[in-house]
């Protein structure tokens, strides 16, 4: 998902996207529910069912966050850790952390065991790779509450969570469409899995909502953090006359490339304004505290009932959000974007309201219909307006 110096495949981004890749590969897409964490067959969720009683925390709260890589990764983990610090302020508690705990069962379980022995009773994982181990830990410690960002497993004392990032990317696309003069823009992404594909497609549709003939060069780098490759890819897009570059990755090199050419840029995960101060339009950012603070309050207060298929939180919670638009966007364009945002938050607009046309011209979603959650989690094609070829999803 959901992105590590060492900024490599251990990054959290791998966790996010691979989680949803496996959901698709396992044929779980048919189980996607509107309240769920997408199309996922979750271990332990059958036992959860309609939980009659709220989880009861034993004793005063002691909270720990466990990270798969460095907290200072410039993206996913850094965004979560910023939220952890805010949660500390919101709740008036000190939260323990462990960094660079590998995404494998033995290492994760050892960290959990140590925390539990020290009296910790709320543990927050931050990686898809923890999905299996955290489910086993939740079974072993039924009196401990577990949360996991970008995870796939849920249970009576475990809830995985993610955000509807495509809603924010649609608005970012509107910003790009508002400023392009060449009619051609670019977006970099990691791997062609649904959680990434919906961001790319929403970005395209947002841009074309502002300028219908906009063409979007979409390139998957087949990596989650490769500053050199991302910079070179952005430069190639700029050479093709793209005048806005957006990144769906953690590195800032794509923004650097746009800034050097005097073009516009859109960042991701954290506010990337400092990397393109003249050309920045906005950044799509995570504010996980908007999910974590109320959820942890519910756990502490004895009212928490984990969602059966996990929490899939919308833009209206500001868990995924955009930083304020820069002066590069006109007041008129800002007003249109804010109107679209209000409509999304009110449930009157989705980024995938029909007709949704595929890149090859076939209609995926007819007029009068909207893409369902199961269709979102199964999304494996470019929409109309994309330049490039959607590569096959990586094999598990």
What CATH number has the domain bearing residue 251?
Answer: 3.40.50.2300
Write out the two tokens for 198.
Answer: 């919906």
State how many domains the chain has: 2
- Is residue 139 located within the same domain as residue 255? no
- Is residue 47 located within the same domain as residue 194? no
Amino acid 223: pLDDT: 85
For the entire predicted model, the pTM comes to 0.84
- Is residue 38 located within the same domain as residue 174? no
Amino acid 52: pLDDT: 67
C-alpha 311/C-alpha 288 separation (Å) is 12
Residue 394 lies in a domain: no
Using CA atoms, how far residue 276 sits from 108, 167, 171, 246, in Å, is: 38, 23, 19, 11
C-alpha 367/C-alpha 18 separation (Å) is 32
Per residue in 30-68, pLDDT tens? 333 333 333 333 333 333 444 668 999 999 999 999 999
- Is residue 219 located within the same domain as residue 337? yes
- Is residue 379 located within the same domain as residue 249? yes
C-alpha 125/C-alpha 131 separation (Å) is 9
- Is residue 190 located within the same domain as residue 304? no
- Is residue 25 located within the same domain as residue 150? yes
Amino acid 137: pLDDT: 98
- Is residue 108 located within the same domain as residue 229? no
- Is residue 141 located within the same domain as residue 193? no
Helix (H, G, I), strand (E, B) or coil at 260: helix
Residue 392 lies in a domain: no
Residue 6 lies in a domain: no
Amino acid 26: pLDDT: 35
Residue 324 lies in a domain: yes
- Is residue 258 located within the same domain as residue 270? yes
| Residue numbers of the chain with a pLDDT score lower than 50 | 1-50
Amino acid 195: pLDDT: 84
Residue 312 lies in a domain: yes
Residue 7 lies in a domain: no
Amino acid 396: pLDDT: 56
**Domain end call among 317, 335, 366:** 317
* Domain that includes residue 338, residue range: 166-285+320-387
- Is residue 252 located within the same domain as residue 303? no
- Is residue 38 located within the same domain as residue 57? yes
- Residue 185 falls in which region: left (phi positive, over 0), alpha (psi -120 to 50) or beta: beta
Residue 4 lies in a domain: no
C-alpha 148/C-alpha 16 separation (Å) is 11
Residue 1 lies in a domain: no
Amino acid 51: pLDDT: 62
């Amino acid at each position: 998902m959901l992105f590590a110096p060492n900024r490599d495949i251990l990054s959290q981004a791998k966790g996010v996207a691979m989680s949803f890749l496996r959901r698709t590969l396992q044929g779980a897409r048919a189980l996607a529910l509107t309240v769920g964490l997408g199309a996922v067959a979750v271990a332990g969720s059958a036992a959860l069912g309609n939980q009659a009683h709220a989880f009861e925390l034993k004793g005063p709260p002691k909270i720990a966050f466990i990270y798969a890589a460095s907290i200072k990764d410039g993206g996913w983990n850094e965004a979560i850790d910023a939220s952890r610090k805010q949660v500390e302020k919101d709740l008036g508690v000190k939260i323990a952390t462990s960094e660079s705990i590998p995404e494998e069962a033995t290492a994760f379980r050892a960290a959990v065991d140590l925390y539990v022995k020290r009296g910790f009773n709320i543990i927050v994982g931050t990686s898809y790779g923890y999905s299996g181990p955290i489910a086993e830990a939740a079974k072993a410690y039924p009196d401990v509450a577990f949360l996991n960002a970008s995870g796939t497993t849920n249970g009576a004392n475990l809830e995985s969570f993610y955000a509807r990032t495509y809603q924010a990317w649609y608005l970012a696309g509107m910003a790009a469409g508002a400023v392009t003069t060449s009619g051609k823009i670019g977006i970099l992404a990691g791997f062609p899995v649904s959680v990434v594909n919906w961001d790319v497609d929403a970005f395209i549709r947002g841009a074309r909502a502002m300028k219908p003939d906009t063409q979007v060069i979409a390139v998957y780098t087949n990596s989650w953090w490769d500053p050199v490759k991302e910079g070179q890819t952005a430069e190639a897009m700029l050479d093709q006359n793209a005048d806005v570059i957006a990144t769906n990755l953690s590195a800032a090199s794509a923004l650097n490339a746009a800034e050097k050419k005097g073009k516009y840029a859109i960042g991701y995960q954290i506010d990337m304004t400092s990397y393109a101060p003249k050309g920045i339009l906005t950044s799509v950012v995570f504010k996980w505290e908007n999910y974590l603070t109320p959820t942890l309050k519910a756990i502490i207060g004895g009212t928490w009932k984990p969602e059966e298929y996990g929490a899939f939180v919308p833009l209206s919670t500001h868990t995924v959000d955009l930083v304020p638009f820069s002066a590069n966007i006109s007041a008129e364009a800002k007003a249109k974007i804010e109107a679209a945002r209000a409509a999304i938050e009110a449930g009157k607009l989705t980024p995938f309201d029909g007709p949704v046309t595929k890149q090859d011209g076939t209609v995926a979603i007819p007029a009068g219909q909207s893409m369902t959650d199961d269709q979102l989690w199964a999304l494996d094609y470019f929409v109309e307006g994309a330049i490039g070829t959607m590569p096959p999803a990586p094999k598990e």
